């Protein structure tokens, strides 16, 4: 799987750790910045990761900002992006399995490195369960998105 990774300055310190975890799990990464701790705007990185998924350059994405909330709000503005903030391992895999989450949003100011590792592993290992009830619900979400 190809995973696009993006972070603002608050998420930057954990971005390299996330990339290492994803690659250790056997996946490819696409580092979309930021590349240092100079202040930047989180929507730019949410857009970069979302566009990579929309263009087929990545299958999923991981975004980091201080709380994970800002990048989540921004990423969800993009058609076809289903982003969620996850601070527990159950949500990190269940959101993929039931909701076809394609962008994991993390807040390194909220959760520490050990939990971030567990969250990333749970997210990349999970697969969408296409049973009828999950597919039906996802189709309703897609219809809402199309209606604007």
Tokens of 63: 């975004």
pLDDT tens for 46-61 read 999 999 999 999 999 9
42 in Cβ contact with 85 (< 8 Å): no
Do the beta carbons of residue 12 and residue 40 sit within 8 Å?
no
- Tokens 């503005």 locate to 77
Catalytic residue at 98?
yes
Is 86 in the active site? no
With H, G, I as helix, E, B as strand and everything else as coil, classify residue 47: helix
Q: What parts of the chain have a pLDDT lower than 50?
A: none
Question: Domain tally for the chain?
Answer: 1
**Domain limits at 133?**
2-147
Q: What is the Cα–Cα distance from 69 to 63, expressed in whole angstroms?
A: 10
Q: Record the tokens describing residue 38, joined without a space.
A: 């100079």
Marked catalytic residue, from 65, 72, 86, 105: 65
Is pTM beyond 0.95? Reply is yes
Task: Find the CATH number of the domain harbouring 137.
Answer: 3.40.1400.10
């Amino acid at each position: 799987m190809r995973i696009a990774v993006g972070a603002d300055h608050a998420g930057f310190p954990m971005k390299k750790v996330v990339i290492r975890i994803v690659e250790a799990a056997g996946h490819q990464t696409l580092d979309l910045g930021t590349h240092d701790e100079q202040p930047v705007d989180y929507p730019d990185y949410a857009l970069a990761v979302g566009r990579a998924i929309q263009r087929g350059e990545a299958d999923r994405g991981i975004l980091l900002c201080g709380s994970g909330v800002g990048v989540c709000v921004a990423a969800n503005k993009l058609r076809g992006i289903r982003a969620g903030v996850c601070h527990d391992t159950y949500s990190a895999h269940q959101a993929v399995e039931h909701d076809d989450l394609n962008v994991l949003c993390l807040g390194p100011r909220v959760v520490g490195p050990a939990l971030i590792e567990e969250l990333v592993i749970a997210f990349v290992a999970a697969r969408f369960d296409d049973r009828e009830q999950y597919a039906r619900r996802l189709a309703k979400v897609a219809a809402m998105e199309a209606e604007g």
